[in-house]
Amino acid sequence: MPSESFSNLPTESLALLAQVRQRMTQREIGEHLQVDPKTVGRWERRETDCPKYVQAALREMLPMRGRSEAPSSFTFIDLFAGIGGIRRGFESAGGRCIFTSEWNEWSKKTYRLNFPSDEHEIDGDITQVDAADIPDHDVLLAGFPCQPFSIAGVSKKNALGRPHGFECTTQGTLFFDVARIIAEKKPKAFLLENVKNLVSHDGGNTFRVIKETLARELGYHVQAKVIDGQSFTPQHRERILIVGFREATGFSFDDFQKPAKGPLLGSILHPEDGSEEAEAPFTTGPLAKVHSKYVLTEKLWEYLKGYAAKHKAAGNGFGFGLVTPEMTTRTLSARYYKDGSEILVSRGGKKRPRRLTPRECARLMGFDSPTGNKFIIPVSDTQAYKQFGNSVVVPVIAEVARLMAPHIRILQRYEQTGILELPLFADAS
């Protein structure tokens, strides 16, 4: 089928098929649908239409909505959820999501298809959600956007004897919505994620207000750490993680474990040698070669080279990031769809470089691996680049969740027994 016909395929059937394929082989699906396994393969490669009439049968092969496949040890809510990167990390530590908030419709589409067993719907604008309507939970998760805000008026309010708690100092920012939910629901713990620059924004005032709000106003024991994801995936990506516990349990980022040596870019690239199945529209043909649409046009490549040369002559560091399989990339950003300049994959010799495919971006962010289950990508390349560029390095979050899990259980037992059973290393002060 010609590539220009892809947009006319029954995308819901394909999305359902992708979910089922995470659990079943082509042969098993074929036996269930009473079709040849090769037919299932042709549907996946988009060589023939995946008929709409198979949707009901595919749904039957998925876990029942709301039925957990494994018992959970704690519950959490997922705010500013994006496509669920933070959620995936906490599910790996035994958590179960019971509330989700995300406003972007394209992200909601991706999220729904990758978490089909949810019995709750996705709430939209969190600013319009009453905190009292959110279910009780053990852990609050939020990759909140940090809009600039000023605290210039705090001193004046002090002088006038006016209150200036978190409602004053953070009102008008999305952090306020995180704070008001914590104040209302009092979860045992929280994890907040943001860009590294949050620490230095406004001369450090923004971060100071956030910490004071969480610790002094809301009464949590707070720690923060900037972590680079390149120990887990081949990408230099620094993010600040802020963890808080309602009681002092001895949690420490000092216990964070990372691999001694991070992977290289080659580990997430399409091998293009036939060792993986072709996945339209990212790869094509018997060798699963990367589609030619990801190769930079001659005009764009000449522009980027000229732009880099101009800034180099001016003594600036601006330019494109050309990488080979033996390297680590720059940070994948949400603007990657524009020209891909921060991560251009060399094709050797005088060949024009190419962008990463969305599937490679999923691997670069730790959503899936060349040999593991594939994260479903049901949106256009433009939307996929934005979604992965705005997300988190999942293995980093998984490691933090692993650290937090025993401390969450300490507070669960404390809630049940009234006795705070701290480990020997805990600081109970």
Q: Name the CATH architecture for the domain at 74-262+393-417.
A: 3-Layer(aba) Sandwich (3.40)
Measured CA to CA, the distance from residue 374 to residue 363 in angstroms comes to 9
Encode the chain (429 residues) as per-residue pLDDT tens digits: 333 333 333 556 777 777 777 667 777 788 778 788 888 888 877 788 888 777 777 777 765 443 444 456 999 999 999 999 999 999 999 999 999 999 999 999 999 999 999 999 999 989 999 999 999 999 999 998 765 543 333 444 444 454 444 455 555 588 989 999 999 999 999 999 998 888 888 788 888 989 999 999 999 999 999 999 999 999 999 999 999 999 999 999 999 999 989 999 999 999 999 999 999 999 999 999 999 999 999 999 999 999 888 877 776 767 789 999 999 999 999 999 999 999 999 999 899 999 999 999 999 999 985 556 789 999 999 999 999 999 999 999 999 999 999 999 999 999 999 998 876 554 443
CB 37 within 8 A of CB 389: no
Measured CA to CA, the distance from residue 328 to residue 350 in angstroms comes to 22
Measured CA to CA, the distance from residue 163 to residue 326 in angstroms comes to 56
Task: Considering the candidates 97, 146, 168, 361, report the single residue annotated as catalytic.
Answer: 146
Q: Span 275-389: which CATH code?
A: 3.90.120.10
Measured CA to CA, the distance from residue 308 to residue 285 in angstroms comes to 35
Confidence (pTM): 0.79
Taking residue 34's Cβ as centre, other Cβ atoms within 10 Å add up to 7
Tell me, yes or no, if 146 is annotated catalytic.
yes
Long-range interactions of 104-112: CB distance < 8 A, separation 24+: 106/379, 106/383, 106/386, 106/387, 107/81, 107/82, 107/83, 107/387, 109/378, 109/379, 110/83, 110/84, 110/376, 110/377, 110/378, 110/379, 110/387, 111/81, 111/82, 111/83, 111/84
